[in-house]
Chain A
Amino acid sequence: MKMVDEEERREIQSALEAWEKGPVAKTVSRFPERREAFATPSGITVKRLYTPLDVDSLKYNRDLGFPGAYPFTRGVQPTMYRGRLWTMRQYSGFATARETNERFRYLLEQGQTGLSVAFDLPTQIGYDSDHPMARGEVGKVGVAIDSLADMEVLFDSIPLDRVSTSMTINAPAAVLLAMYIAVAEKQGVPMEKLRGTIQNDILKEYVARGTYIFPPQESMRLITDIFKFCSEKMPLWNTISISGYHIREAGSTAVQEVAFTLADGIAYVQAAIDAGLDVDKFASRLSFFFGSHSNFFEEVAKFRAARRLWARIMRERFGAREDRSCRMRFHTQTAGCTLTAQQPENNVVRVTLQALQAVLGGTQSLHTNSRDEALSLPTEESVRIALRTQQIIAFETGVTDTVDPLAGSYFIESLTDEIERRAMEYIKKIDEMGGAPRAIEKGFIQREITQSAYEHQRLVDSGERVVVGVNKFVIEEGHTFDYMRVDPEAERRQIERVRSVRASRDQSAVDDALAALRAAAEGTDNLMPFILDAVRAYATLGEICDVLRGVFGEYRAPDVL
């Protein structure tokens, strides 16, 4: 940071050497350090001490700058949390639309400021609830949505012009977005007023999350169709949430999380540019999603590094002219994979620290996990504690009172630099392979992630990496938790519901809309208006996806292990 001139540099250098040879050597000879070498989980060496010498190459204006301005290292808004706190957004949804609607209204009453919809797996994979593959899965990990009728119930009495809604939906994102637009229409809210996010990030589904339907090329078309549609009609809508969270959950390191997420981001931007969009027209609506894992400083630095690297990529690689196109806004979720089934109360502490990291890293919204999620779906009480955790950080700790409070820490800045550098190396490698979609097809990204996951597990098994309550400080325990259970009758009820929707709608309108959609899919028209028409006619999610399956085919995973 050029905090020191040449002379002072030399003074520090010699003082540092004297300290190493003197007091340190003496202490270490009598009391050896706990380990020979220290490193972050990404493998970045952690030194005993960081000094101005470690940030010598940083140029303040170039590398850190000011909040709200390029390269956004210190945050995406000028005043950050002094102005407005992050959005507290708990991912939830289970069973049927009716029950989820009740949970949403409860959360809004509790002070939550945004909704986040979890869909069940059949919905995420484009199957109606009565599809044979849906058996046992309906309403399990989220809410089942088969048609507009379910969506109407889901947002009943929730004014869509006043909440922002995030939907974790990818392969059929266009369909769920269309349903959201249609519900808003019925409430009298025009689509240009809608605020929210669809995840819409198919590339990470292929490598880490698995809810893909169509092959990459066709999926990319759907995504760019959404970009185009929203750039014209939904200026407040986040068209994609490019997600590192699931890559991290699948076992990647922090460096890999940044690298693979940004490589995916590059692929989306390139696809949109190739489809004829002006980068400054859509880039500001891209958003990101990261995990917040266990290693405190590495995680804080990761958020800052990702922000800076993305800004540079947008400007230098894609020639974005406007600052807001270079601004990486992201949602954070505390890392589900760090939750332990053993001594689950400890998870509250883990989540607290991880949430604090995300706030110190400048997140725009945050989901805090519930303590019991390694065991089952969270209970209402657990969800409340998780939300309260955010509120305590926001209102009691004072960490929100100044922007980017850890900046200037020799260690944090040095780590930020190193993470950016290592992530860039990966991105170069992926570029050489022909970009993220090719690297995925070759299985490169999947293999890297699985290798890291395996190494992590080996380190935990050997005790080298401590997980409290799992491989150290273990106790005999009987579980005393109440489990949240999805009513087994919910599946049957939902099946009846979708069948009655099919029986009561105007079938010829559905047939016409689906035929028009098929024709459009075979051609090159933007599919969003056709999907919207089909949704309005109460065509089901499964029917719409089947039309697209017929034209696009289905994705088959490579045999990567």
Chain B
Amino acid sequence: MSPSRKIRVLIAKPGLDGHDRGAKVVARALRDAGMEVIYTGLRQTPEMIVRAAIDESVDVIGLSILSGAHMALFPRVMELLRKEGADDILVIGGGIIPEDDIPELKKHGIAEIFGPGTPLDEIVDYIRKHVKV
């Protein structure tokens, strides 16, 4: 790994909810862990997220959602990534996601779900461990 190599992460909020506290706090933590974090803002469609991920060549996409629309939107993101041949990107999720939904989301290719109360370092470590560099 060249010394200037940085892990690039897209933090995206799919759906319509405006609760971006978690997204912003995670974004800061990743920055403080030396990563480059691209934040997209609210109300992102899966199409917008995938486009941003490709243009920005990110290693990781972090999806944060609290509205309950994850079962509709997360799989759609994965589907579009596959269509674009960009499914090598590590996709993780967070927010309010009932435990029962997690196996189904993983089946669609979401690598991990970080629920409320996850320590920031756990997310940082997970990314460092799973991004192929």
A and B touch in the complex (CB under 8 A): yes
Contacts from A to B (Cβ < 8 Å): 121-122, 124-125, 132-137, 140-141, 205, 208-212, 249-251, 337, 339-342, 374-377, 450, 453-454, 457-458, 460-461, 467, 470-471, 479, 483, 486, 557, 559, 561
Is A133 within 8 A of B119, CB to CB? no
Is A209 within 8 A of B18, CB to CB? yes
Contact A133-B45, Cβ < 8 Å, known A450-B25, A458-B120: yes
Is B98 within 8 A of A375, CB to CB? yes
Bound-state Cα–Cα, A132 to B117, Å: 32
Is A557 within 8 A of B42, CB to CB? yes
Whole-angstrom distance from the CB of B44 to the nearest CB of chain A? 10
Residue of B nearest to A141 (CB): B67
Is A470 within 8 A of B16, CB to CB? no
**Chain B hits for A342, CB < 8 A:** 117
Residue of B nearest to A372 (CB): B98
Is A249 within 8 A of B21, CB to CB? yes
Q: List 29 A-B contacts (CB under 8 A).
A: A121-B17, A136-B72, A136-B73, A137-B16, A137-B72, A140-B69, A205-B18, A210-B42, A210-B43, A249-B21, A250-B19, A251-B21, A337-B21, A339-B116, A340-B117, A341-B115, A342-B117, A453-B21, A454-B24, A454-B29, A457-B25, A457-B120, A461-B119, A471-B119, A479-B99, A483-B100, A559-B39, A561-B27, A561-B28
Q: Would you give the 0/1 interface string for B64-79, flagging 1 where the beta carbon is closer than 8 Å to chain A?
A: 0001110111000000
Interface residue? B96 (CB, 8 A): yes
**Chain B hits for A454, CB < 8 A:** 24-25, 28-29
Whole-angstrom distance from the CB of B129 to the nearest CB of chain A? 18
Choose from A121, A470, A479 the contact partner of B67 (Cβ within 8 Å): A121
**Chain A hits for B98, CB < 8 A:** 375-376, 483
Interface residue? B41 (CB, 8 A): yes
Is B28 within 8 A of A133, CB to CB? no
Choose from B42, B43, B71, B117 the contact partner of A467 (Cβ within 8 Å): B117
* Secondary structure of the B contact surface, majority rule: loop
Bound-state Cα–Cα, A404 to B116, Å: 35
**Chain A hits for B20, CB < 8 A:** 210, 250
Bound-state Cα–Cα, A457 to B23, Å: 12
Is A122 within 8 A of B96, CB to CB? no
Is A376 within 8 A of B25, CB to CB? no
Choose from B19, B43, B121 the contact partner of A209 (Cβ within 8 Å): B19
Bound-state Cα–Cα, A339 to B19, Å: 15
Which of B24, B25, B119 has most chain A Cβ within 10 Å? Answer: B24
Contacts from B to A (Cβ < 8 Å): 15-21, 24-25, 27-29, 39, 41-43, 45, 67-69, 71-73, 96, 98-100, 115-117, 119-121
**Chain B hits for A559, CB < 8 A:** 39, 41
Is A486 within 8 A of B68, CB to CB? yes
Whole-angstrom distance from the CB of A293 to the nearest CB of chain B? 14
Is B16 within 8 A of A122, CB to CB? yes
Bound-state Cα–Cα, A341 to B118, Å: 10
**Chain A hits for B69, CB < 8 A:** 135-137, 140
**Chain A hits for B116, CB < 8 A:** 339-341, 374
**Chain B hits for A211, CB < 8 A:** 16, 18
Choose from A132, A471, A557 the contact partner of B41 (Cβ within 8 Å): A557
Is B120 within 8 A of A461, CB to CB? yes
Choose from B18, B39, B42 the contact partner of A561 (Cβ within 8 Å): B39
**Chain A hits for B119, CB < 8 A:** 460-461, 471
Bound-state Cα–Cα, A136 to B71, Å: 8
Q: Which 5 residue pairs across A and B have the least CB separation, nearest first?
A: A210-B18, A136-B72, A136-B69, A121-B16, A140-B68
Contact A470-B71, Cβ < 8 Å, known A137-B16, A210-B42, A376-B98: no
Bound-state Cα–Cα, A483 to B25, Å: 27
**Chain A hits for B42, CB < 8 A:** 210, 557
Residue of B nearest to A470 (CB): B117
Whole-angstrom distance from the CB of B70 to the nearest CB of chain A? 8
**Chain A hits for B43, CB < 8 A:** 125, 133, 210
**Chain A hits for B19, CB < 8 A:** 209-210, 249-250
